[in-house]
Amino acid sequence: MLVPVEWLKDYIDLDVPVDEFCDRMIMSGSNLETCQYLCEEIEKVVVGKIEKLERHPDADKLVVCQVDAGGDQTVQIVTGAPNVFEGAYVPVALHNSRIPGPLHGQPKQEGGVKITKGKLRGIESFGMLCSAEELGFEDKVVPVAHKDGIWILEEEYTPGQDFAEALGLKQAVVDFEITPNRPDCLAMVGMAREASATFKKDFKYPDTDVRDENNDAKAKDYLDVEIRNSKDCKRYVARVVTDVKVKQSPWWLQKRLMYAGMRPINNIVDITNFVMLEYGQPIHAFDINQVKGRKIIVENAADGEVFITLDEQERKMKDNMLLIKDAERGIAIAGVMGGLNSEIEDSTTTIVVESANFSGENVRATSKALNLRTEASSRFEKGIDPNLCKDAADRVCRLIEMVGAGRVCKGGVDVYPAPEEPKTIDIRVDRINHVLGIDISRGEMIEMLDRLEIRVTGNGNILTVTPPTIRQDLLEEEDYIEEIARLYGYDRLPVTLPKGSSEASIPYDRALRDMAGEALCSMGLNEVQTYSFVSPKGVDNVRIDEDSWERDFVRIINPLGEENSVMRTILTPNMMEVLSRNYSRNIETVKAFEIGNTFTTSFLSNHKLPDEQYALCLGIYGKKEDFFSLKGIVEEMLQIMGIKDIKFTAESEYGVYHPGRCARISVLSNRDTVKEGEEFEELGIMGEVHPDVAEKYGMAGLKVYCCEIMFDAVIRHADTEKVYKPLPKYPSTFRDIALLVDENMEVGKIKDVIKENGKPILERVKLFDVYRGKQVEEGKKSVAFALVYRDKEKTLTDEEVAKVHNKVLDALKEKLDAVLREM
């Protein structure tokens, strides 16, 4: 909200420096964005009067002006502006002057632009005639009348006057950030009310006293209003103005609009915009001759109805959109934009001034559906007090009288089915003091609330408060405590530390995620983070089956694009993109992991929210990396998290991985009730990425290994409690064996047989080598294990170890046809 300080002084006698004003407003709860001092860079720019114009002898588009610059000084200036004429009052930048700029076609320069004399096509020019933009005004606020060409002043001034002083250009504009709960501050009156409360100054409301004595006609004789949807239109006020003269607004009105960020257009439009900025109440004006049947009806549009707005665009309406109609057709979209068929033109002589209150929810839905946001719609969306309508309409009419733009008809048409009443509640003096940590009297509180126009009654500890209806944010006792706090001064509140004995702690699931991340980092992996919004093509790229649960996407209603249109169900496509990006940058070895959320709809029932779970994804490639190095990382991480009895089972049907180099990871279930065949619960899957998938990501010929684990399942099985175990009293003994087995034999099956038959003295078994070569016949492989034997009660003899060891070898031969190979 741009607040020109000069305009603010129309309502409050503000006699403090601008810097102090900003500081005090911040301390009273008004969020300040910036404070700008406009036109400070203007130097030696004066008002000039063009006395004589002549064509440039050597340039068709240039003219030579003789300009009265004050006193006896006549300055010759050459310009190409098409709108200059003899007798015009213009801003003249003299020799060695400075203007904010930018000059036409050039970028803006810090510190402004210095203007010096020179020659244009052989003719001397001792300065420059300036446009509004060259004097520092943005294009969007330059009046329509001066948008192209030199700034022509509407009124007469004394030549030689300092231009900025003559027009009052040098002033401060404060930009306040208005929070959504304070729509009343989206108005000059609202900010003046805040300043009045902050500085304890009297507040003066705008003049709304319409004289009417110049017109005997009554508004109700011109117009009738009917509201057919009172839910979305709470109030509709219409006033009529005759003998309208459409012309430029006086400078004081244009200046206020420009400094508040709006472009002056003509007196009628400018007045409606002025009042919208002043009261926060959007105003619309119709040409009454375009209102068929002299009747205004507020009702919903017909589904599919086509309406042309002021910007000459066709809008297809829906039946939930509110439309302002006459007896035959729509003439405005309620709260959004007027219609082309009823706009005010230069020939307009009688207008209807509309000041209405529309539902914020309806306006927001309409604006969004039509992709049409306006200054009016943005204000209605936040909520506006319907009790403002009449004051705003009267203010428009008073300004029309003041500038001589028309004659106001007596009275108005005011349809207000259910008037808005203020909401009264009780608040407690001791509660306010307790919450704020201060000790102020009931009388002081009443004085503060009175400055905010909050009426107070009641006795003793109870304050019965009634706020003005414009303060829609004051609903509970806490809201009033905040009002007392900010007027007392946030900087004056005592500083105290929070009291309590609560201890900060990390949730168990978060602690396990941190533990997994630290474990993986300690093993040389780098953590990555990728977006949850992904492209549905990702699962195509990793060869996920068409009927797989991984395609049960949660779809985004309003995505930025197709590549961010769904929420990820798995992390593997994102990890493949990370590996591909690093490979394309010639990174020889990458070891990465991500712990992130995944989202699916496959578990939806009874309109529940999508299922959100954590997943862990690992991805590696490099000369020294293979299936077993990834498997070792997974085993080590799960062991750190206290998960035992891990099982790796060969998998050949999952499209992401090579059919002969893929394994599902499962763990012995710890559930109380285990169904037959469900002794193991699946944790995830790992393997060598399928060559087609690697090629899809630009890594053809590279062996890439990935693993995806359902981390919520890991959390269920994790056991991080450390149990003390004494060091063994008796020594262990080792046996290494190399077994010749079929190529397709799973290592997990071999380990299961070894563990089963090595009881009770087998302490540990570990795979340390897999060999294929000349010494091994085709179709076979050699797998080598290290076996550790130990008895907790005594030292084992060779005979005792040999007995169990031979039992293991016999079982391997009998069950798996595994032959012992010479080491």
Residue 714 near residue 688, CB atoms below 8 Å: no
Range 305-311 average pLDDT: 93
| pLDDT surpasses 50 at 604 | no
pLDDT for position 770 = 87
Q: C-alpha distances in angstroms, 753 versus 46, 209, 806, 818, 820?
A: 102, 100, 13, 11, 14
| 557 pLDDT more than 80 | yes
At 677 the pLDDT is 52
Residue 672: pLDDT above 60?
Answer: no
| pLDDT confidence of residue 775 | 83
CA 85 → CA 51, 121, 131, 150, 513, distances in Å? 9, 21, 15, 10, 77
pLDDT at 348: 87
CA–CA gap between residue 376 and residue 392 (Å, rounded): 14
Whether 607 shows a pLDDT value over 60: the answer reads no
What is the pLDDT, as a whole number, of residue 149?
87
End-to-end CA distance of the chain: 84
Average model confidence (pLDDT) across the chain = 91
Q: DSSP readout, 281-337?
A: ---EEEEGGGSGGGEEEEEEPPTT-EEEBTTS-EEE--TTSEEEE-SSSEEEETTTE
Token pair 């919004």: residue: 533
Write the pLDDT tens digit of every residue in 268-296.
999 999 999 999 999 999 999 999 999 99
**Confidence category of residue 673, pLDDT binned at 50, 70, 90:** very low
Question: Which pLDDT value is given to residue 647?
Answer: 87
Instruction: Indicate the length of the chain as a whole number.
Output: 823
Contact 706, 557 (CB under 8 A): no
DSSP state of 818: P
Which pLDDT value is given to residue 605? 46
With a threshold of 0.85, does the pTM exceed it? no
What is the rounded average pLDDT of the residues 340-351?
88
Q: What is the average per-residue pLDDT within 593-618? A: 81
**Confidence (pLDDT) at 606:** 52
Q: How far is the C-alpha of 789 from the C-alpha of 803, rounded, in Å?
A: 12
Share of the chain above pLDDT 90, in %: 74
Instruction: Convert the pLDDT of each residue in 232-250 to its tens digit.
Output: 999 999 999 999 999 999 9
| 80's tokens | 């190409």
Average pLDDT over residues 399-409: 93
**pLDDT digit string, tens, across residues 92-125:** 999 999 998 777 666 667 778 899 999 888 899 9
The pLDDT value given to residue 61: 87
Give Cα 751 distance to the centre of its chain: 56
What pLDDT band is residue 674 in, cutting at 50, 70 and 90? very low
Distance (Å, rounded) from C-alpha 757 to C-alpha 755? Answer: 6
Mean pLDDT within 503-525: 93
